[in-house]
């Protein structure tokens, strides 16, 4: 095929999306069961089944289903003891949801930079803040500058890869802070042989449409702490003290997941292990070519990690590659390939200007250079080869 006719055929290609669901298991069957039995709302057997399945998958004791991952984070932070006016250490390089959840409580984020190797929360940054900026007083920990109480650490396992959690856990124990994992992007990943979502005191998952499994929209809190699990259930169901008399002694939320969506979740969970291996295969297919391309650095996997490669992401060095990440994005877009940069680091978000100023140069650089490539479980080998062909074609 000559260049001109190849171009023609490229234009006719259908869009290759960044990440779309694969629904080829028992989704129809289980949802139909809900419709046939009338159990469509917030109570029903699939809710409990789904909670059990996810908790068991990460070897945790308890699961509490929620309407989305952000709601799960809001409740998990509250259950972990975070109160209005407190501070929570959080990765700056993340989708904004966990920082919003901190603010819902009226607490404040302390933004921690990413480390350059795997782009996750930097344990050194956590240590520097706790050691240099904080002070213990009356059995509690305070930020010396703001005077606020420091209450929890919220590492976000981004893009399917775990945070290096051992050194963070060690600090958490030393300073007596609970670790609340945002594991929404990394269901199925593991860290030193332990499942992500069972590395801290409490963790959150999301089943939004672009996540590794989906319920259309949904979330889950998992924990080994039975009291916390019960409290999370209580808070997500309007904090109802008496099911008959409707007595409430505190403010609750309606954050429940419906049986209908939990049914879909059960069907998706049956396919999760296969989805993880497919994502890993997609990543190795990409890396086989991209490892040798000057100016392109694929996301790597730590020796202590098993990543799901939820979104396969590369760094684009403008000098060595010839164009920057955003120009590459537009080039791929012209060929109907959907890609996406990483989020604006949240310490730069206008929404959080009143939370203080933070210096996070690694997150800033990753934001400038990163591009996530199409990573759907259902992507074909042919589509991957096409993405690679366009990506490595001469920049005009
Ligand atoms: C997807 C996601 C969430 C939760 O998202 P929901 O859409 O509310 O389910 C939270 N944190 C991160 C890092 C995410 O990527």
Q: DSSP characters for 221-232?
A: EEES-HHHHHHH
Per-residue confidence band for 367, with pLDDT thresholds at 50, 70 and 90: very high
Q: What is the DSSP string of 56-98?
A: HHTT-SEEEEESSHHHHHHHHHHHTT--TT-EEEEESSS-SHH
Mean pLDDT (whole number) for 196-201: 98
Q: What is the DSSP letter of 39?
A: -
Q: In this structure, which residue's CA is closest to atom 9 in ligand 1? A: 69
CATH fold of 27-269 reads 3.40.640
Residue whose CA lies nearest to ligand 1 atom number 5: 69
Distance 248 CA to ligand 1 centre (A): 29
Which ligand 1 atom minimizes the distance to the CA of 185? Answer: 15
Please give the full DSSP string across 259-284, using - where no structure is assigned.
HHHHHHHHHHHTTHHHHHHHHHHHHH
- For residue 219 and ligand 1, the question of a CB distance below 6 A is answered with yes
pLDDT for residue 366: 98
Pairing of strands 202-206, 194-195: unpaired
Q: Which CATH architecture has domain 3-17+272-392?
A: Alpha-Beta Complex (3.90)
Atom of ligand 1 nearest to the CA of 71: 8
The span from the CA of 205 to the CA of 182, in Å, is: 7
Task: State residue 6's pLDDT score.
Answer: 54
Q: Which residue has the tokens 């007083």?
A: 137
Asked whether 156 and 182 are in contact (CB, 8 A), the reply is yes
Decide: 307 in ligand 1 pocket, CB within 6 A.
Answer: no
**CA distances to 22, 46, 158, 331, 360 from 388, in Å:** 22, 41, 23, 12, 32
Q: Domain residues of the chain, as ranges? A: 3-17+272-392, 27-269
Top-confidence residue, 3 or 171: 171
Query: Does the structure show a pLDDT above 60 at 270?
Result: yes
Residue indicated by tokens 């963070």: 168
CA dist 34 to 43, 255, 266, 320, 368, Å?
11, 20, 12, 55, 46
Taking CA atoms only, the protein residue closest to ligand 1 atom 13 is 95
Q: Which of 74, 211, 253 to mutate to test the pocket of ligand 1 (most atoms within 8 A of CB)?
A: 211
**234 SS3 class:** helix
Q: Is the pLDDT of residue 117 over 70?
A: yes
Inter-residue contact 49 to 269 (CB < 8 Å):
no
Question: Against a cut of 0.85, is the pTM above it?
Answer: yes
Burial class of residue 219 in the structure, from the number of CB atoms within 10 Å of its CB (0-12 exposed, 13-18 middle, 19+ buried): buried
CA 66/CA 229 separation, integer angstroms: 12
CB 97 within 8 A of CB 127: no
Q: What share of the chain in percent tops pLDDT 90?
A: 95
Residue 98 Cβ inside 6 Å of ligand 1? The answer reads yes
Confidence of residue 10 (pLDDT cuts 50, 70, 90): low
**DSSP three-state, residue 124:** helix
- Residue 242 CA: distances (Å) to CA of 216, 230, 231, 239, 249: 31, 14, 14, 9, 10
The per-residue pLDDT for range 173-195, each reduced to its tens digit, is 999 999 999 999 999 999 999 99
Q: Is 160 helix (H, G, I), strand (E, B) or coil?
A: helix
For ligand 1, the distance from its centroid to the CA atom of residue 295, given in whole angstroms, is 30
3-17+272-392 and 27-269 in the same fold: no
* Residue 1 predicted with pLDDT over 50: no
Residue 16 has pLDDT above 50, yes or no: yes
Q: Is any ligand 1 atom within 6 A of the Cβ of residue 185?
A: yes
At 243, the pLDDT band (50, 70, 90 cuts) reads: confident
What SS3 state is found at 112? Answer: strand
Ligand 1 neighbourhood includes 69 CB (under 6 angstroms): yes
User: How does pLDDT run across 47-67, given as a tens digit for each residue?
Assistant: 999 999 999 999 999 999 999
Average pLDDT over residues 105-110: 98
Q: Average model confidence (pLDDT) for the chain? A: 96
CA atoms within 13 A on the CB side of 174: 12
Atom nearest to 69 CA in ligand 1? 9
* Residue to mutate, 77, 121, 157, 185, ligand 1, most ligand atoms under 8 Å from C-beta: 185
pLDDT at residue 247 is higher than 80: yes
322, exposed or middle or buried, with CB in 10 Å at 0-12, 13-18, 19+?
middle
In the predicted structure, residue 8 carries a pLDDT above the cut 90: no
């Amino acid at each position: 095929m000559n260049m001109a006719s190849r171009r023609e055929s490229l234009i006719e290609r259908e869009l290759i999306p960044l990440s779309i669901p694969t629904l080829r298991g028992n989704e129809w069957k289980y949802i139909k069961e809900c419709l046939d039995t009338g159990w469509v709302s917030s109570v029903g057997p699939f809710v409990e089944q789904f909670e059990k399945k996810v908790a068991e998958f990460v070897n945790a004791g308890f699961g509490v289903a929620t309407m989305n991952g952000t709601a799960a984070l809001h409740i998990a932070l509250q259950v972990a003891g975070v109160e209005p006016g407190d501070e929570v250490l959080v990765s700056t390089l993340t989708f904004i949801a966990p920082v919003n959840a901190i603010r819902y409580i009226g607490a404040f984020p302390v933004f921690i930079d990413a480390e350059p190797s795997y782009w996750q929360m930097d344990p050194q940054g956590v240590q520097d803040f706790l050691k240099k900026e904080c002070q213990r007083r009356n059995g509690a920990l305070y930020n010396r500058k703001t005077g606020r109480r420091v209450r929890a650490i919220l590492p976000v396992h981004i893009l399917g890869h775990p945070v290096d959690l051992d050194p963070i856990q060690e600090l958490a124990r030393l300073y007596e802070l609970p670790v609340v994992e945002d594991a929404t992007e990394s269901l199925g990943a593991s860290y030193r042989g332990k499942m992500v979502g069972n590395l801290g005191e409490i963790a959150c998952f999301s089943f939004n449409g672009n996540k590794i499994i989906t319920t259309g929209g949904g979330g889950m809190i998992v924990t080994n702490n039975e009291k916390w699990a019960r409290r999370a259930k209580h808070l997500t169901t309007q904090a109802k003290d008496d099911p008959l008399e409707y007595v409430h002694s505190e403010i609750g939320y309606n954050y429940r997941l419906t049986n209908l969506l939990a049914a879909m979740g059960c069907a998706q969970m049956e396919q999760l292990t296969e989805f993880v291996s497919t994502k890993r295969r997609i990543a190795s297919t990409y890396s086989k070519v991209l490892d040798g391309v000057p100016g392109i650095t694929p996301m790597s996997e730590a020796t202590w990690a098993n990543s799901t490669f939820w979104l396969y992401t590369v760094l684009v060095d403008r000098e060595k590659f010839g164009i920057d990440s955003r120009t590459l994005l537009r080039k791929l877009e012209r060929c109907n390939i959907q890609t996406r940069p990483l989020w604006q680091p949240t310490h730069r978000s206008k929404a959080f200007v009143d939370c203080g100023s933070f210096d996070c140069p690694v997150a800033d650089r990753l934001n400038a250079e990163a591009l996530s490539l199409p990573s759907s479980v259902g992507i074909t080998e042919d589509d991957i080869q096409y993405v690679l062909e366009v990506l490595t074609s001469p920049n005009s």
